[in-house]
Structure 1
């Protein structure tokens, strides 16, 4: 038997087909080969067409089925991971009314800040565990204020994963974890926040119905099955935002466990068992995939928008003839600290850890006579690792010690420079696993469909492939470079 997992990212759509009994993927892939376009009609805006995600899901699924020759009759479940905080709006005919305002769009920052002040910081932090910030609820309010004709046609709003589930099943629903990431969930009353709805002037009917994260959430329709090349009636039995799902894929489910990822954006995600928050709301707290009324499981999420996208920017503009691996190899010839070159990697919208300021990316102390492309390649990765360290210090202030970081063996964690710099700064052990978000979604779906008896069964074949410990001999040099970077950061933050 097999389970399919989709990961709906802003860069690409990923898919993994998991052999449920062996706990290993049979085949996996992504589409398109080049990163998906993010439209930016105005500075700070970021939009994508949800129908494009669906088209790519169909193309990728058919490609993998054709390559693997899997018996589609044996595919029993489907799970979805998705880019968080996006807004998709549809009318009564389930037609998309406007492009999705995605996670890195910063147009609603001021709306969220005003809500935080007027609703009250005490309520927001105690009950929502966050400021309304630049999240889905604030983005919806932007539509109401600026596009009233569109707003008046809205039947339901959705997160990106809810939209894909709708295309698969014909049903519109969401999860408590999803509502919490949109800042619609009141953790104290365990219900949708009436205060948010009242302040933003939304009717509750605009929100989808709630289903458990691991559950029968719908069945594959005949038309969707034909488009995908699958059989009708496969159960859709799991969905989660990409960061809770990334943690889930690494078996990070209990208090004190920590996951990290460094794709387009960078994330550190720690699980706690109490309703805690950062008083400045520089990190976020959302319901984790296994949160319930009976068992508090909150994911503390540090998100850095400008990480892998900076590495991609450098490759496109300075090294289009090189692979990322070749860039990494050249960077290793450069000393720690890059001969004074420093890069602040914050050029992808407002950063939560700077209290929603958009300080931009800055390339500093460039010496035309000394610095080469290789210096830039290393300075990018050091700057990203330094930004992780800066954010982890915020998590430490909440009383959380981070001794072990689990990550998938992908994206920037493939780079020895990035992972060694991070280990040397945090003094944490980094564990790399052979998994990713799509594989995690496939495991979650199999568990949600009761094809695994327990989560222990779901993860018994998860493979740890590498351990990175900090190097005491290099830690001092790394801290010197980090402290110089911090001084430069103070000029812009």
Structure 2
């Protein structure tokens, strides 16, 4: 039996074909080869076309099929992971009404802040565990206020993964996890938030049928099966946001366990069994993939918009002819502290951990007679590591104090300089695993389809690559103090 995992990322879509018998990847591919564009019609705006995600899914799967390593008709279930918080709108004919307003878009901050105050901070934090802030609900409110013709034609409101499931099955469903990441879910009432719906004036009919994350979210239609070369009638058995899915793929499911990811955005994601919230909503609490009414599993999420996106900007600006690995090798030639060069990696929209301020990206203390490309590359990685430390200290305030953090050896964690800087900045060892979002989605489908009795069975063969221990905490602490002082200067101006 084979499982298909689809990971709808900001930069590309990746798919994996996984053998359910031994949980191994038979084939994987992504599309496009260069990073997919983000449409930014105004400063702070960020959109993508959901139909582009669907086209990218088709291309990536076709590449897997071309390997000839498996029979596509042996695929028995599909799982979907997706970029979180995006707003997707369709009419009664299931046609898109506009581009998706994606996770790093900042246009709705003011609307979310007004809702936070109007509904009441305590009410929001005890019931939704978050401020509406800049999440999906506030983005929908922006459409209502600014695009009434589109708003009046809405039949259903979805998250990005819901749309890909719709294209596969013709059916629209959601889950408590998805609704919570949109700030549509009331954890005290275990259902759609009446406070949010009533304040913004949303129709309850906008929201699809609610199912568990691990469930039958529809069966592949004949049309989609013919298009993709797979069997009609197989289930989409799992849908989750990319960060809960990353935690699942690292077997982070129980209170106190913590995962990290440093892709386009940077995330530390810890599991709790307490309905607690950060009073300032700088870190955010959502329903984890295994959350149930009678067994609470909450994902406490720190998100930094500018991690991989910042390092990509560094590459495009200073090192177009180098690969990321070559940049990482150069970075290792610079000492801890990058010879005094400091960077703030905040240039990709409002940062929630900075109270939704936009401080921008900054490079400070450039010495034209001293600094080399190696210093630039290392300072970028140290700046990202310091941003993680800043957010991690906020997580500690909420009671999250892990003794180890699990991460996939991918994206920024492919760099030894970044990984060691992250460990030394946070003071917490990192366990590295072979990990991939599309693999996690595939195995999630196996759980949802009943092929695996539990996540433990699905991820039982996972092997640790190694553990990175703190090595130079004091020197990195000095770097962090200087970095934090620079950040405070710009926060005071924002």
The answer on whether the counterparts of 1:403 and 1:427 sit within 8 Å (CA) in structure 2 is: no
Residue of structure 2 in register with 1:485 after alignment: 483
* Alpha-carbon separation, structure 2, partners of 1:68 and 1:293: 44
Task: Give deviations 1:404-431, integer Å, cap 9, x for gaps.
Answer: 1101110000000111011112221101
Return the offset for 1:454: 2.1
Could you list the structure 1 runs, at least 4 aligned residues long, displaced by more than 2 angstroms after superposition. Answer: none
Query: Does the Cα contact within 8 Å between 2:26 and 2:69 map onto a contact in 1?
Result: no
Correspondence for 1:239: 239
Offset at residue 223 of structure 1 (A): 0.6
Q: What residue number does 2:396 align with? A: 396
Matches within 5 A, 1:69-468: 69-468=69-468
Number of aligned residues: 491
Partner of 1:39: 39
User: Contact conserved, 2:29 with 2:61, CA < 8 A, in 1?
Assistant: no
Q: Distance in 2 between matches of 1:50 and 1:73?
A: 26
CA offset at residue 73 of structure 1? 2.3
Give the C-alpha shift of residue 208 in structure 1.
Answer: 1.2
Question: SS in structure 2 opposite 1:492?
Answer: helix
Q: Distance in 2 between matches of 1:425 and 1:106?
A: 28
How far apart, in 1, do the equivalents of 2:146 and 2:6 lie? Answer: 33
Q: Residue in 2 aligned with 1:3?
A: 3
How far the C-alpha of 1:52 sits from its partner, in A, is 0.3
Aligned to 2:216, the other structure's residue is in SS state strand
Contact 1:433 1:465 in 2 (8 A): yes
Question: What's the offset of the Cα at 1:86?
Answer: 0.2
Please, which runs of 5 or more residues in structure 1 have no aligned partner? none
Displacement of 1:191: 1.2
Whether the 8 Å CA contact 1:215–1:238 is kept in 2: the answer is yes
RMSD: 0.8
Shift of 1:68: 3.5
TM-score (norm 2): 0.98
The Cα offsets for residues 371-416 of structure 1, whole Å up to 9 and x where unpaired, read as: 1222111110000000001100001111221211101110000000
1:71-127 per-residue CA deviation (whole Å, 9 max, x = no partner) reads: 122111100000000001011111111110000000000000000011100100010
Superposed displacement of residue 460, structure 1: 1.0
Query: Helix, strand or coil: the match of 1:369?
Result: coil
Residues of 1 paired with 2:158 and 2:189: CA distance?
22
Matched residues in 2 for 1:437 and 1:142: separation?
31
User: Partners in 2 of 1:463 and 1:71 — Cα distance?
Assistant: 27
Do the aligned residues in 1 keep the contact of 2:219 with 2:234 (CA within 8 Å)? yes
| Deviation at residue 16 of structure 1 after TM alignment | 1.1
Report SS of the residue matched to 1:22. coil
User: What displacement does 1:55 show?
Assistant: 0.4
User: In the aligned structure 2, how far is the partner of 1:163 from the partner of 1:417?
Assistant: 38
Whole-angstrom CA distance in 2 between matches of 1:329 and 1:25: 29
Q: CA deviation at 1:69?
A: 3.4
SS at match of 2:456: helix
Per-residue deviation, 1:288: 0.2
Question: For the residues of structure 1 that align with 2:359 and 2:315, how far apart are their CA atoms?
Answer: 22
The C-alpha deviation readout for 1:248-278, integer Å capped at 9, x for no partner, is 0100000000000000000000000010111
Check whether the contact 1:61–1:229 (CA below 8 A) recurs between aligned residues: no
